[in-house]
Structure 1
């Protein structure tokens, strides 16, 4: 294989997190070239769409975009668009809008979760304060809506439905399960709304706005939502990682802030004395941190949670959601798009191994 052909698809493989070997063969390399070309259009468009005349708003709006990110949602939209007309202008605009929506949600999430860092840099609210961070998210949402509005009623409905689910997911996470709710089922629904809905919008939009066969739309929407749930379950495990240089966050950020995660929820239903004691220790530590104590008081407890069987159970649960996503791809024709989507889900399931 020549060096030029070996390089074909390397950036796409890096975005999706899997080996360049996925893109061996003429059809796979052609797919990679098309998606990478679309990604170039998305990136250059985002750089322009994020420009704001006001100096402060310009700096804050570009902050997390310039900090990096995998652009998973645009890449998935571009991938599924190859089942139809490919990198059409409508597909590029929708991909940009979904990434801007994702970016805006990060500003809001970090305020609500009290996160210190995002993408390896201080969270926006740590730099400019909560109010500016929230308003920056609002600017990004408005830019996303402007892009969507240029593609007609179907795009506006997709954005409105997705945004409503994002907000409901955050609201339900904030309020917590109500009497009679199963905490684990409640949490899965929060993940489906907060994370799955936006990834589902990306995989669904690629079909809709490329003119791909309509029978692909619903399976790919479900694929995206299930991938999103699996992605977040794995993030719950990564949140316990002892390697903050890999995550860009202090280990246990979510739990220290009192945000439930699947390992902590599963720990809460364990009945053996050691698990009950660990759950009580974590709960007490969260309350002490909220009262102003150093977050490091939970270091030892979170290390034990990371090694507990409930973390393995969380990984197993994530893999079951991943397999459910892969099963949805059966309706697609065999070929490089189906293979890439399958490999993406498989690699996602292994990223915390």
Structure 2
């Protein structure tokens, strides 16, 4: 492992401030449509904020390779637009009422308009990417979109059912980690002569994305609603078995397993309370197991870029895994 120091949050922000602001402006510009409702929905979603971690990764990937092309700004907007489109569709599928502490877009504009707005955002992101005239960029984004749609369909098939760890990791790769991976790979795709770095950067993104989603799933079970910005334990209420739950199912007593199965099948806490589920998870060390797994993937992300040339961007990439595993929302 390199002895290079890990950047601080302030150093990372200072390094990327101007580029992230440019991406925000580009995202706003690209999401404007002649059809007013599309613009209204898109701008509502942009105003909802978010971590912008996917464009951040694309920026750091390209900076680590010495890329100064404006393509990094345009594609930063593309990956955030794709992510936003998935959130719109996820809220409709999950019948969610809130997102980031505000009413979800579908509660304001209705499912039909939001499905179409999400579709428009997908197509707009591809239109922007097409303007780059870079086949590798298109290959990455097409494969990514297929994986994400397959992941959503697979998850719908498994709702209310028990799954094993292998199935869980396949799902979270498709739904989350794949976009982290591609965000990193795009940095190489827009940098001439950087083909050899794409696999390394993609591995970093994959490991980081898995860590990110595992932490998300733990926070869904444990965080306070006012911090999380949405109802707690939404996954269980939607019939989704996440890593801590799978761990407890494999190690719990017959009564423990029955309690968890009841919540997954009922998709509610009417017969078994959220507090009872948390007690089961804590008794078997399942929450700690999930967080330890997330930290292991975060460290694997750091290790995967050990051979990358030392730079401020690399120091920032070494900071991101710690941010991912220590956040509270």
Q: TM-score, normalised by structure 2?
A: 0.89
Aligned-pair CA distance for 1:182:
6.3
Q: Confirm or deny: 8 A CA contact 1:84 1:212 kept in the other structure.
A: no
Match of 2:141 among 127, 149, 159: 159
Find 1:204's aligned residue among 185, 197, 209. Answer: 185
Separation in 2, partners of 1:248, 1:329? 33
* 2:232 aligned counterpart, secondary structure: coil
Residue 210 of structure 1 deviates from its aligned partner by: 3.0
Describe the shift of the 1:296–1:237 C-alpha distance in structure 2 as closer, same or farther (beyond 3 A). farther
How far apart are residue 175 of structure 1 and its match? 1.3
Alignment match of 1:117 (pick from 92, 95, 98):
98
Selected match of 2:221 from 240, 257, 262: 240
Unaligned runs of 5+ in 1: 1-12, 24-30
Q: CA RMSD in A?
A: 2.5
Contact 2:263 2:272 in 1 (8 A): no
Task: Give 1:54-203 correspondences, 5 Å limit.
Answer: 54-152=35-133, 153-176=135-158, 183-203=164-184
Which structure ranks higher in relative contact order (CA pairs < 8 Å, sequence separation ≥ 6)?
2
User: Which moved further from structure 2: 98-107 or 36-45?
Assistant: 36-45
Which residue in the other structure is 2:274 paired with?
A: 299
Matched, 1:270 2:251: yes
- CA shift, 1:328, in A, is 0.7
C-alpha spacing 1:284/1:49, structure 2 compared with 1 (3 Å): closer
Residues 234 and 315 in structure 1, CA contact (< 8 A), matched pair in contact too: yes
| Structure 1 match to 2:304 | 328
In structure 2, the gaps of 5 or more residues are: 1-6
Q: Does 1:342 align with 2:329?
A: no
Offset at 1:127?
Answer: 1.8
Q: Does 1:313 align with 2:294?
A: no
- 2:9 is aligned to 19
CA distance in 1, matches of 2:80, 2:185: 14
Q: Find the aligned partners of 1:297 and 1:69 in 2 and give their Cα distance.
A: 33
CA distance in structure 2 between the aligned counterparts of 1:63 and 1:105, rounded to whole angstroms: 15
CA contact (8 A) 2:260 2:277 kept: no
Counterpart of 1:261 in structure 2 is 242
Q: Secondary structure at the match of 1:234?
A: helix
Q: C-alpha displacement at 1:95, in angstroms?
A: 1.1
TM superposition outliers: structure 1 runs of 4+ over 4 Å: 31-34, 294-297
Q: Are residues 1:222 and 2:198 paired?
A: no
**How far 1:305 sits from its partner (Å)?**
4.9
Contact 1:241 1:306 survives alignment (8 Å): no
1:240, 1:252 within 8 Å by CA — same for their partners in 2? yes
Q: Any idea what the Cα deviations from partners look like across 1:244-267, whole Å, max 9, x if unmatched?
A: 121111110121121222222222
Deviation at 1:183, TM superposition (A): 2.0
- Contact 2:215–2:291 (CA<8 Å) still a contact in 1? yes
Q: Distance in 2 between matches of 1:33 and 1:345?
A: 18
Q: What is the distance in 2 between the residues matched to 1:210 and 1:329?
A: 17
TM-score (norm 1): 0.83
**In 2, Cα distance between the equivalents of 1:319 and 1:34?**
25
Count of residues paired in the alignment: 320
